[in-house]
Amino acid sequence: MHVHLVGNGSGGTGCWLRVRGWHRPLAALMVRQIGLPSSCLKGDLDRLYLERLLEQVKTSSLAGAVILAHDKVYDECGKAMEGAGSFYVPNDYVLRLARDHRELLPAVSIHPARPDALDELERCLTGGAVMMKCLPNCHNIDCNDRRYTRFWERMAESRLPLLAHTGGEHTVPVVRRELADPRTLRLPLECGVTVVAAHCATKSGLFDPEYFHVFVEMTRRYPNLYGDTSAFNVPIRGRHVRECLDPSLVDRMLHGSDYPVPVHGHFAWLKGYVDWATFRRWETHPNILERDYQLKRAMGFPEESFSRIWKILRLPLEA
Ligand SMILES: [Zn+2]
């Protein structure tokens, strides 16, 4: 779960990408991570990115990948904030890819302030959405805003889970820093939505506020709250692996990738989560989906943390 799609629209996908300032070398680093030349950011990115992703999923131990759409940034009144946001991946693109490739599962992205939010939700449910993804701090979504109640209720009724970014963020521009706090997810949780706090609300940068303990407290209060392990193989994010493996928390853990975010085992080795031989064995593996999976297995994440997601996704065909 938690595999990003990115595109520049070169293949008629409707995607766009707008990287500025220091995000530019970061974007180049990420495409090189997955074995693409950085020149493809301005070239045939749509096709190359998809081909590479499919190849990596198919040659990994994973049965499939939940791919993420990425909505535009809106203000509280539902007006698109021009110039905000660094990339866009339309819902129709992920829905189409999932129809064409059985190993891809579509997570749509809908800003609940959009005037057409409920209609778009219905359209995506009909189209086979398995999940909804948003980044409250980057998309400018205060999930506790009472105006979104009907939206969350409809998600709960249709068993569509919410994957929400929590904790600091440095890859996508942040609009409202305070919405990195997982407490912003209380209203959807109270409406009965199954919510996955991406990254378990761990911090990303050294100076980000730490919300991991808030996430842990919330899992005690809300049985419908989970956390994903996405980007745990970058320094800092992986600081709380031992607490995540604690019997009081481990049943709420879901394997998440954050592809194409780099995967490196140095931090896990330095912290003693994996031994030297394991680190050496997987660090040079060219498939970052597989590298990430194997490092997390070695850290002690149990088998169920990799398969639990099947019980959470809305899978209309199998239902
Ligand atoms: Zn992500």
Strand duo 3-4 + 65-68: pairing: parallel
Going from the Cα of 5 to the center of ligand 1, the distance in angstroms, rounded, reads 10
Q: Tens of pLDDT along 145-170?
A: 999 999 999 999 999 999 999 998 77
Distance separating alpha carbons of residues 127 and 176, to the nearest angstrom: 31
Residues with CB under 5 A from ligand 1 (ion): 258
Q: Which residues contact 29 (CB under 8 A, 6 or more apart)?
A: 262
Looking at residue 140, its pLDDT comes to: 94
Going from the Cα of 304 to the center of ligand 1, the distance in angstroms, rounded, reads 22
Distance separating alpha carbons of residues 85 and 70, to the nearest angstrom: 10
Q: Tens of pLDDT along 60-115?
A: 999 999 999 999 999 999 999 988 888 999 999 999 999 999 999 999 999 999 99
Determine the distance from the C-alpha atom of residue 121 to the mean position of all C-alpha atoms in its chain, rounded to a whole number. 19
Going from the Cα of 282 to the center of ligand 1, the distance in angstroms, rounded, reads 22
Distance separating alpha carbons of residues 113 and 150, to the nearest angstrom: 11
Distance separating alpha carbons of residues 134 and 82, to the nearest angstrom: 18
Going from the Cα of 122 to the center of ligand 1, the distance in angstroms, rounded, reads 24
Going from the Cα of 257 to the center of ligand 1, the distance in angstroms, rounded, reads 8
Q: Which residues contact 12 (CB under 8 A, 6 or more apart)?
A: 46
Q: Is 226 helix (H, G, I), strand (E, B) or coil?
A: strand
- Nearest-5° Cα angle at 308, 268 to 278: 25
Determine the distance from the C-alpha atom of residue 124 to the mean position of all C-alpha atoms in its chain, rounded to a whole number. 18
What does the H/E/C string look like for 169-212?
CCCCCCCCHHHHCHHHHHHHHHCCCCEEEEHHHCCCCCCCCCCH
Strand duo 16-17 + 87-88: pairing: antiparallel
Q: Residue ranges of the chain with pLDDT lower than 50?
A: 319
Q: Which of 210, 225, 196, 78 is nearest to 141 (CA)?
A: 78
Going from the Cα of 289 to the center of ligand 1, the distance in angstroms, rounded, reads 14
Going from the Cα of 258 to the center of ligand 1, the distance in angstroms, rounded, reads 5
Contact 302, 249 (CB under 8 A): no
Looking at residue 317, its pLDDT comes to: 58
Please state the pTM of the whole predicted model.
0.94
Going from the Cα of 41 to the center of ligand 1, the distance in angstroms, rounded, reads 19
Going from the Cα of 171 to the center of ligand 1, the distance in angstroms, rounded, reads 9
